[in-house]
């Protein structure tokens, strides 16, 4: 399974997640190949859901009323 398919992002975005440490992986060999275990990917996804839920708590519950001209 490819991370890009699971996260619906590009290869460069997946590399960026690994390189910055948000997504834990290990480098294999010297050709810039990475391995991310499924359990680490699942943990990353769960944390992303938690971050999203926390940020949604900061949003107003109701849409602002439209301004009248």
Q: What percent of the chain has pLDDT over 90?
A: 55
Over the stretch 34-60, which tens digit does the pLDDT of each residue have? 899 999 999 999 999 999 888 887 777
**Cα 30 from Cα 41, distance rounded (Å):** 22
pLDDT of residue 67: 57
Over the stretch 2-31, which tens digit does the pLDDT of each residue have? 899 999 999 999 999 999 999 999 988 878
Residue with tokens 């009323």: 65
The whole model's pTM is what?
A: 0.73
Average pLDDT, the chain: 86
**Cα 25 from Cα 41, distance rounded (Å):** 9
């Amino acid at each position: 399974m490819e991370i890009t398919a699971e996260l619906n992002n590009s290869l460069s975005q997946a590399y960026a997640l690994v390189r910055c440490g948000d997504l834990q992986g290990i480098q294999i060999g010297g050709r810039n190949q990475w391995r991310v275990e499924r359990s680490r990917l699942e943990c990353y996804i769960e944390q992303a859901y938690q971050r999203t839920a926390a940020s949604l708590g900061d949003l107003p519950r109701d849409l602002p009323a439209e301004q009248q001209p």
